[in-house]
Structure 1
């Protein structure tokens, strides 16, 4: 009986040892899943779906939302997400003065940090609108500006299938734009996990140095 137990234990240890490298080998590249505009009333549902499907993402939070819902910012971090800056009130930053841009970015840094989300290293301008002033202010706060390679069109009522297909167009290092609030985006999460796995891609972090998706550190 003792011999049988030892053999079983050895087999189990061997299977565990081989499982980890096999899982790592399945990642032939990394992509950046991003969700803008949170935290909101749908954030927890999004986080649940991401965790259930083994995905991590970057959430670009609006400062005023982070300030009013700090528990959801902490939930994002607890779920393994990275939290980025998406301005304080989601304005058209290119239409603002430098002082106004500074206020939008700095207040969001403070709100996210105060909520327990850490100090963001990534910044996404609302609507992807930027100019030299916006980039200069972001750099002043140590932020890397992140736009996107693929737009899921979830903000434009894209269907669940269309959102999944958009994720299927991602290649190694690329970043996709999605949002925190569309029901179809949350419903698409299992399909997104499947399509990425079929392409040998894993959900990674966005490097503050390069702006590209890389293996989580």
Structure 2
């Protein structure tokens, strides 16, 4: 009996110790701090569009009136056959003018930045001899939707040449520009604004449908106008050049172009894309 009761006590005591140990483990687990939850992923940054007015202020300008939507029925119709048509304006009632840039001597990188910022459409009439040292300069300007058109190889007085000589100048420029920029010119700006009937014939044989003149030309800070009242009219074609300080009496091309836009803006006009108003029929 003594051994029996001794064993019983020991069994009971062991069970009590085991129960106490289990209870302690449970309290320890309950009291153990929980691992912190991982932080929630940060919300993606919201891309802020640049203030349009600030972009224009960067160049010392006020925002211009947006150009109207291009007309579905193009008002200037050029013939597919016969002499290339000569024109200096587009028949439209829209308060819109068209900016053209000639030659290609000046290759100001700040001007490319300006055009990327402002998205003002221009038509570029490039001379092979002026651009062949850096064809790539004009590629980002073309990428903005600006067309590259013909301005001859060497910038001669075209009427001083015979038909074959004019064709060599016009077709030679067309071929070089087509190879470099992937699209064939369809318009010609005759150097010095000089042309004759042979120019019209040579242009047609080189795939040119229109010979583009102008109603006002940008000098340094203002236009030289055909209109004695010094006014712009809906559909006027405006002439400027790729020129720098040497030709602009120390001014940069960006300053000249900013002044050009100021003159247009204060007269309440927008700048349209010339090719958007032209069709060949």
Please report the TM-score for the alignment, with normalisation by the length of structure 1: 0.71
3-state DSSP of counterpart to 1:182: coil
What is the distance in 2 between the residues matched to 1:132 and 1:59? 24
Please report the TM-score for the alignment, with normalisation by the length of structure 2: 0.56
Aligned position for 1:201: 269
Unaligned runs of 5+ in 2: 1-64, 71-93, 246-250
Would you say 1:86 and 2:151 are equivalent positions? yes
Aligned position for 2:172: 107
State which drifts further: 60-69 or 90-99: 60-69
Q: 1:114 to 1:68 in 2, by over 3 A?
A: farther
Contact 1:66 1:112 in 2 (8 A): no
Q: How many residues align?
A: 181
Would you say 1:172 and 2:234 are equivalent positions? yes
Moved over 6 A (4+): none
1:194 CA drift (Å): 3.7
The match for 1:189 among 240, 246, 257 is 257
CA RMSD between the two structures: 2.9
Aligned position for 1:56: 121
1:8-157 correspondence to structure 2 within 5 Å = 23=66, 28-38=94-104, 40-116=105-181, 118-143=183-208, 144-152=210-218, 154=219
Highest Rg: 1 or 2? 2
Which structure has the highest helix share of the two? 1
Unaligned runs of 5+ in 1: 1-21, 211-217
Contact 1:73 1:117 in 2 (8 A): no
3-state DSSP of counterpart to 1:68: coil
1:188 CA drift (Å): 2.9
Contact 1:30 1:172 in 2 (8 A): yes
1:145-181 per-residue CA deviation (whole Å, 9 max, x = no partner) reads 00111122x2xxxx42x24999x83221111111101
